[in-house]
Amino acid sequence: MEMPNDLPSANPVPTGYFRWEPDEDDVLICRAVREETHDVKSFIFAPRFQRQFDFISGQFLTLEFEIEGEIIHRCYTISSPPSRPDTVTITVKRVPGGPVSNWLHDYFRPGMMLKATVPMGDFSWAGMQAQKYLFLSGGSGITPLMSMTRSAYDLALVADIAFVHAARSPADIIFRDELEFMSRRNRSIQPVFTVENDAPGHGWSGYRGRLTRSMLDVICPDFLEREVFVCGPRPFMVAARALLEKAGLDMERYHQESFDFGDFTDQAQETITEAAEDLESDVKRHRVTFTKTDRVVYCPEDITVLEAARRAGMRLPFSCAKGLCGTCKSKIASGTVEMAHSGGIRQREIDKGMALLCCSKPTSDLVVER
C-alpha cells in the first residue's frame, strides 16, 4: 500500500513546554537508573522545578560533574523522545579508564543531582517529510536514533524505519528488547542486528560481521531511496559513509553525527602530526602554557588552541569541536583569543576569562588553566 503524500513532519517540535533559556544552567534530579547491558546504563532525569523539557530527537546535553574535586563537562545524547517531556534520559557505556562513565556506573544513584545546559545539536530528522528512513548505528551511537524511533512509535508516525544496529556480541545489543517490542506493535519499525562475536549464554542466529553492501542489499533493498542517519564510533561512520557513497546514495540524503560519543580517554583521542607546511609558515605563533600539565606549545594564529595542543601530542577533552558543547571550556589566565563559538559558552563566562579551546585562536601568548 502506498504511503499518503501529506504526512506530518517527522518528530515535530512540541509547543507550550517550558524552554530553558540559553544563558541559564539548570539542575536535574536523577529519578531512576536502568541497566541496559552488562556495561551500559540509562539515567533518567527530571527538572528540579516543575516544568517539561523542550528538545528535538538527536540533540545532546552537556552535563557538569564534580569528581574528586575536579569539575568535568561531558556531552551525552538524549536517548528518550521529546514525546515524553516530563523526563530526559541519557544512556552511558562504561569506558575503560573513563573518569565520568565509571563514576556514573559505580556511584551515581537516584536522588543525586547534576547541572546541565540546554539541549543542543542539529543531528535530527525534525521537520523532514521523508516517508522512508535508514538508521545505521554502532555501539552507543544508537542513542540519538533510539530517540527518533521512540518518538515515531509514541506519535504513531507513518514512517518506514529500517534500523540496522551493529554490536560486538549479542550481549552488547543496547535496547534490543524494546526495539523488538516496538517492531511487533508497529510494523513500520524494522530493527535488524549484526554482531561480530558470540557471547556466553546468548545464542545467535542473526547477521554476523561488519556491515557490507551485500548485507544491506538483503536487509534493506531500497536503501538508496531512503533518508539515511548514521551514528557510532568514528571507524564505523567512516566505513558506512564509504559504503553508501560507493553504492551511489545521493549524499544529500546522508546525515551523520559529527562528534564522538561516550567518555574521554587517552585512547579515544588520536594524536595529529603537525604538517610540514605549518612549520615552514610565516604565520605568527604564540606561546601557550598549560598550567596543570606544565606543557608549552606554540600555536599559529590561524589554528585553534585545541588543534595546536593535539598536534603537539596533548590529549585534551573535547566532543563537538564546533563551539557547541562546552566540553573544552577552560580558563584563560592571561592573554587574549579570538573566539567564534556556537552557543557553548555564556557571556558571563567569557567575562570571567573562560574560552572554548576548540574555536579559539590566539592573538597573544596565553596561559591556560588546563
CB 264 within 8 A of CB 171: no
Number of other residues whose CB lies within 10 A of the CB of residue 152 = 25
Within the chain, residue ranges assigned H as helices are: 99-107, 142-154, 176-185, 213-219, 234-247, 276-279, 305-311, 347-351
Strand runs labelled E in the chain: 26-37, 40-47, 60-67, 70-77, 88-93, 113-116, 132-138, 160-167, 189-195, 207-208, 227-231, 254-256, 285-290, 295-300, 329-334, 337-339, 354-356, 360-362, 366-369
Number of other residues whose CB lies within 10 A of the CB of residue 335 = 19
CB 332 within 8 A of CB 356: no
CA 195 to chain centre: 22
Give strand pairing partners of 367: 289, 334
Label residue 295 exposed, middle or buried (CB < 10 Å: 0-12, 13-18, 19+).
middle
- Residue 141 per-residue DSSP state: G
Query: On the CB side of 273, how many CA atoms lie within 13 Å of its CA?
Result: 3
CA 102 to chain centre: 18
Give the span between the Cα atoms of 279 and 203, in whole angstroms: 55
Give the span between the Cα atoms of 52 and 19, in whole angstroms: 8
pTM of the complete model: 0.78
The grid coordinates of residue 36 equal 541496559
pLDDT of residue 52: 86
pLDDT of residue 259: 56
| Per-residue buried b or exposed e for 61-72, using 16+ beta carbons within 10 Å of the residue's own CB | bbbbbeeeeeeb
Q: Is the dihedral of CA 156, 162, 166, 172 positive or negative?
A: positive
Give the span between the Cα atoms of 210 and 242, in whole angstroms: 13
pLDDT of residue 270: 35
CB 95 within 8 A of CB 262: yes
Query: On the CB side of 169, how many CA atoms lie within 13 Å of its CA?
Result: 11
**Would you give per-residue pLDDT tens digits along the chain (370 residues)?**
344 444 344 544 444 344 554 444 578 999 999 999 999 999 999 988 878 888 999 999 889 899 988 888 888 999 999 999 999 999 999 998 889 999 999 999 999 999 988 788 889 998 888 999 999 999 999 999 999 999 999 999 878 999 999 999 999 999 999 999 999 999 999 999 999 999 998 889 999 999 999 999 999 999 999 999 999 998 999 999 999 999 999 999 999 986 555 554 433 333 333 333 343 446 788 999 999 888 999 999 999 999 898 888 787 888 778 888 888 999 999 999 999 998 888 899 999 999 999 999 999 999 999 8
Give the span between the Cα atoms of 162 and 141, in whole angstroms: 16
Residues 6+ apart with CB under 8 A from 187: none
| Per-residue buried b or exposed e for 113-122, using 16+ beta carbons within 10 Å of the residue's own CB | ebbbbbbbbe
Pairing of strands 26-37, 113-116: antiparallel
Pairing of strands 366-369, 285-290: parallel
pLDDT of residue 269: 35
